[in-house]
Amino acid sequence: MLVHLIFIQGASIYLDDSAVDLVTRLCIVSVGIWWFGWSIWTLKTVPEPEIENNLQNESFSKIILSAFSRLRQTFSEIRKFKYLFTFLIAFYIFNDGVQTVLSVAGAYGADVLGVQLIFNMITILIIQFVAAPGSILFGWLADKYGTKEALVIALTGWIIIIVFVLGFAPLKLTNDKDYDYQFAFDSNSNNYELISSIEFSSTEENIDVINWEEKFHKLQGQKYLKKN
């Protein structure tokens, strides 16, 4: 990812937008090649344990029946592992939430918060370096206070962060009065009229803004009409 970040940043400085888009797409392709290559290497080099009751030479129907039979046997033995079954249900729920956040975080930052691609990549890169010491920390918490307590702390942190991030999401304006600037079209003069604007302070710190409001913003409707 660091290499991709360097390539995209360099392309954004020295190349045009179309070239940056091409470099970004090539980086995504390289990620697929990277994972595909290491997957092939893993499958070829990591030894597999011997399988009891190998069904390789059995018919397809027998394999399906055997799979459902083992599934039924597993469910029949769940009552012997009550706490493990409860944890399994909880794991599916919170893990699905975590995976959802990881999947949509980049798109949420870009589409909802308006974060640029380069900052998105930097954030994700920083997370990779935080993950390693974070796993060590929660391993220590699990050893000292227990696995359940460490898991509750981690999920509480996830909830706080997610709620905090959602607070940055801009709300969609549904009423015309919610907009700072409001224009109305005057059919008699065939022009736009500014009917509402921001009330600026009259202090010297905002003198430039006040001058802009008095001299220019009333003409924006006319300029817009002339351009169109």
CB 35 within 8 A of CB 144: no
- Summarize the confidence of residues 86-93 as an average pLDDT: 87
What is residue 211's three-state secondary structure? helix
* Other Cβ atoms within 10 Å of 220 Cβ, number: 14
| Section 83-111 average pLDDT | 86
Give mean pLDDT, residues 60-88. Answer: 83
Q: Has residue 204 got a pLDDT over 90? A: no
pLDDT digits (tens, 9 = 90+) for 158-180: 999 888 888 877 767 777 777 77
Can you give the pLDDT at residue 224? 45
CA distance 186 to 193: 7
Encode 109-173 in three state secondary structure.
HHHHCCCCHHHHHHHHHHHHHHHHHHHHHHHHHHHHHCHHHHHHHHHHHHHHHHHHHHCCCCCCC
Provide mean pLDDT across the span 28-34.
87
Is 141's pLDDT higher than 70? Answer: yes
Report the C-alpha gap between 71 and 68 in whole angstroms: 5
Lowest-confidence region among 8-22, 50-64, 127-141, 202-216: 202-216
